[in-house]
Structure 1
Amino acid sequence: MRVIKLAAVAAVAAGPALADLVKVDNQQKFVQLVNGKTLTRPFVKLNVRPDGQIEGRGARWDVEGTWSWQNGYFCRDLFWGGDPLGYNCQEVQASDDGRIKFTSDRGAGDSAMFRLR
């Protein structure tokens, strides 16, 4: 009985759950999410423009590149401080609370979470 009470208290103390991430599967929805916003995370600020351009800063270096939407994925070619990061197609997920997540290799690789500001 104590275990059940303790679990109930822990659930209440944890607060509301974060909004669920939902896969963004079309370019129009993606553009609506990012247009006029800055994608931020510690030491990174990026603008992903509707015209296919990416620009911003990562740590102390400029980030620039291009993007397109292909078969339900955000495909980008980036340069960071002039060095190529390469071409990669990424799964995009977003939430109602302003978070957007990019997962490399069509959703099978590493992820990066950003805030839309």
Structure 2
Amino acid sequence: MRTLLFALLLPTTSLADGFVPITDRETFLSYVQDRDLRLGVLGITLNVEPDGTIEGTAVRWEVTGTWDWKDGFFCREMDWSGMPIDYNCQLVEVRDGSEMRFTVDQGAGDSATFRLR
């Protein structure tokens, strides 16, 4: 279970599916500020705050972390109930203002799509 959650928190790519890349911090914050990022099937709820912190839960366990925006990518490191989730810079894309996809390794790796609530 931890491996699956780790892969999802790390965040597949395709531009033909309506997702539009976000390339700057201000646009990113306009979507996530005061909203939850949710991946319901695994019970993941995350809040990404303007002050560079990440808080939430995954499978009822606490998630904490920090983030920054670097060279057009969302870069973060997190801790999931004592399990470190390594630093990684991710491509962020949004669709219809209601879904946000994070793709690890600057868009070259696996992805996870969250609902914005």
Q: TM-score range by the shorter chain?
A: 0.7 to 0.9
Match of 1:39 among 37, 60, 73: 37
Match of 1:24 among 22, 25, 32: 22
Deviations 1:36-66 (CA, angstroms, capped at 9, x unpaired) = 0000012100000011000000012100000
Specify every segment of 5 or more residues in structure 1 that has no aligned partner in the other structure, as ranges.
Answer: 1-18
Cα displacement (A) at 1:97: 4.4
Specify every segment of 5 or more residues in structure 2 that has no aligned partner in the other structure, as ranges.
Answer: 1-16
Count of residues in Structure 1 that have an aligned counterpart in Structure 2: 99
Give the counterpart letter for 1:57 in structure 2. Answer: T
Residue aligned with 1:85, SS: strand
Residue aligned with 2:29, SS: helix
**Residue 64, structure 1, aligned to residue 64, structure 2:** yes
Distance across 1 between alignment mates of 2:19 and 2:113 = 11
Please list, as runs of the form range in 1=range in 2, the aligned pairs for 1:1-117 lying within 5 A after superposition.
Answer: 20-42=18-40, 43-117=43-117
Task: Calculate percent identity across the aligned residue pairs.
Answer: 46
Give the counterpart letter for 2:98 in structure 1. Answer: G
Deviation beyond 4 Å, 4+ runs, structure 1:
none
Deviations 1:68-109 (CA, angstroms, capped at 9, x unpaired) = 000000000110012101100000000124000000000001
Distance across 2 between alignment mates of 1:66 and 1:73 = 14
TM-score, structure 2 length as denominator? 0.82
Distance across 1 between alignment mates of 2:80 and 2:56 = 9
Q: CA RMSD in A?
A: 1.0
Larger relative contact order (C-alpha < 8 A, sep ≥ 6)?
Answer: 2
